[in-house]
Amino acid sequence: MSRVIGIFSGKGGVGKTTLVANLGAALTGALKKNVVIFDNNIHTSHLGLHFGLYEDLPVTLREVLKRNIPLTQATYIHPSTGIRIIPAPINGDGINLTRQQCAKMTKQVSKNYDIVLLDCAPGLGNEVLAPMSAIDDAIVISTPDVASLADAVKTIELLKRMKKNVIGVVVNRYKNQRYQLTPQEITSTTNYNIIGIIPEDDNVQSSLSKGLPVVVASPNSSASKAFKKLAASLVNEQYTEPGFFDRFRGMFDFSMPKIDMPIILQPKINIQPEPIIKREVATLKQTKNELLRDVRKEMKKELKEKIRRRLKERLYA
């Protein structure tokens, strides 16, 4: 039976998309599950960015919603990791995802996958209510601070009113600092178990700049281990920390998961990680060299001018 799991937070920027990208990567890669990650954050979509997707693909949710194109045609395979992704358009202007549309799409997609992970918008408005009504289970993510926790509590209340199963709470960007809320405080405030604690880890942001989830870019980082542990617990499997030699093996393990795909996922895309940063560095270098060239030219010109002036002065003196 397929499970549709929505990731919610209430407050924005606490790590929903990061969680979806990394759970998707860990479930597909290490755990070899038949998973699709689905961006339901139409107006501020970011899921594609975690896979180096900086431009719209030929078919996006816009075409699916406006031109009634099957969702399978907006489902893509990330080349190096095999992750299945349904990205939202980069610019979601003019699209409103209704509850009916969301329910129809998740039903469609759940026929082909065992797990569907929905990346949702922040807030508690219609953009959240649509995916909320379409899911079976929910994970609520919060950072260990009062603002985020307050919105997580509101989200949990909403989910309970909609009779959805809340699997538990994920605490993200945990630093074990005195100014942060403790896991115990979060559990007693939400009345839900903490199913994962993801530490604050610079590798998360550096991997985003490479256009790869951290479990792929830095598989042995502290955040990656926490994401993999959480992914394993979601499918009732045991996560074992990599041994010394496994670490090296992990570096070369980019094999595609062996999944019996009943549908053709069209078209395959060629996502190239790291283009933006490389391009920026290149442009910077170029500008610097061009500037130096211009300065040298100017200096030469001035020098020539000076010499000419001196010669003239001597000639006519």
Ligand X SMILES: Nc1ncnc2c1ncn2[C@@H]1O[C@H](COP(=O)(O)OP(=O)(O)OP(=O)(O)O)[C@@H](O)[C@H]1O
Footprint of Mg ion (CB under 5 A): 16-17, 46
139 touches ligand X (CB under 6 A): no
- C-alpha of 44 from chain center: 12
84 touches ligand X (CB under 6 A): no
- Give the CA angle between residues 210, 41, 183 to the nearest 5°: 75
Instruction: Tell me whether residue 102 is exposed, middle or buried, using C-beta atoms within 10 angstroms of its C-beta: 0 to 12, 13 to 18, 19 or more.
Output: buried
**Beta carbon of residue 201, minimum distance to ligand X (angstroms, whole number):** 5
Please count the residues of this chain forming the interface with ligand X, following the rule CB under 6 A.
21
**Residue 98 binding: pick among Mg ion, ligand X, none (C-beta 5-8 Å cut-off by kind):** none
Q: Could you say which residues in the range 90-129 bind ligand X, by CB under 6 A?
A: 122
The count of other CB atoms within 10 Å of the CB of residue 311 is 10
Whole-Å CA distances, 174 to 102, 130, 201: 33, 30, 9
Question: Is residue 172 within 8 Å of 141, Cβ to Cβ?
Answer: yes
Out of 5, 17, 48, 273, the only residue in the binding site for ligand X (CB under 6 A) is: 17
**Residue 272 binding: pick among ligand X, Mg ion, none (C-beta 5-8 Å cut-off by kind):** none
**Beta carbon of residue 57, minimum distance to Mg ion (angstroms, whole number):** 19
Q: Which is nearer to Mg ion, 50 or 164 (CB)?
A: 50
Q: Could you say which residues in the range 143-172 bind ligand X, by CB under 6 A?
A: 172
- Tokens representing 117 are 């992970």
Q: Could you say which residues in the range 182-221 bind ligand X, by CB under 6 A?
A: 198, 200-201, 204-205, 208
Q: Which is nearer to ligand X, 187 or 222 (CB)?
A: 222
Out of 33, 84, 173, 228, the only residue in the binding site for ligand X (CB under 6 A) is: 173
**Beta carbon of residue 289, minimum distance to ligand X (angstroms, whole number):** 32
**Beta carbon of residue 292, minimum distance to ligand X (angstroms, whole number):** 35
CA distance 140 to 167: 8
User: If residue 66 lies in a helix (H) or strand (E), which one and from where to where?
Assistant: helix 61-67
**Residue 216 binding: pick among ligand X, Mg ion, none (C-beta 5-8 Å cut-off by kind):** none
* Exposure class string for 259-289: b at 16+ Cβ within 10 A, else e: beeeeebeeebebebeeeeeeeeeeeeeeee
Q: Which is nearer to ligand X, 13 or 262 (CB)?
A: 13
**Residue 198 binding: pick among ligand X, Mg ion, none (C-beta 5-8 Å cut-off by kind):** ligand X
Provide DSSP, 256-309.
PP----SS---------SSHHHHHHHHHHHHHHHHHHHHHHHHHHHHHHHHHHH
Write a three-state SS string for 116-146.
EEEECCCCCCHHHHHHHHHCCEEEEEECCCH
**Beta carbon of residue 254, minimum distance to ligand X (angstroms, whole number):** 22
Out of 3, 4, 10, 18, the only residue in the binding site for ligand X (CB under 6 A) is: 18
CA distance 79 to 134: 29
- Tokens representing 10 are 């209430």
**Beta carbon of residue 174, minimum distance to ligand X (angstroms, whole number):** 8
Out of 25, 30, 38, 46, the only residue in the binding site for ligand X (CB under 6 A) is: 46
Q: Which is nearer to Mg ion, 46 or 228 (CB)?
A: 46
Residues that bind ligand X (CB under 6 A): 9, 12-18, 41, 44, 46, 122, 172-173, 198, 200-201, 204-205, 208, 223
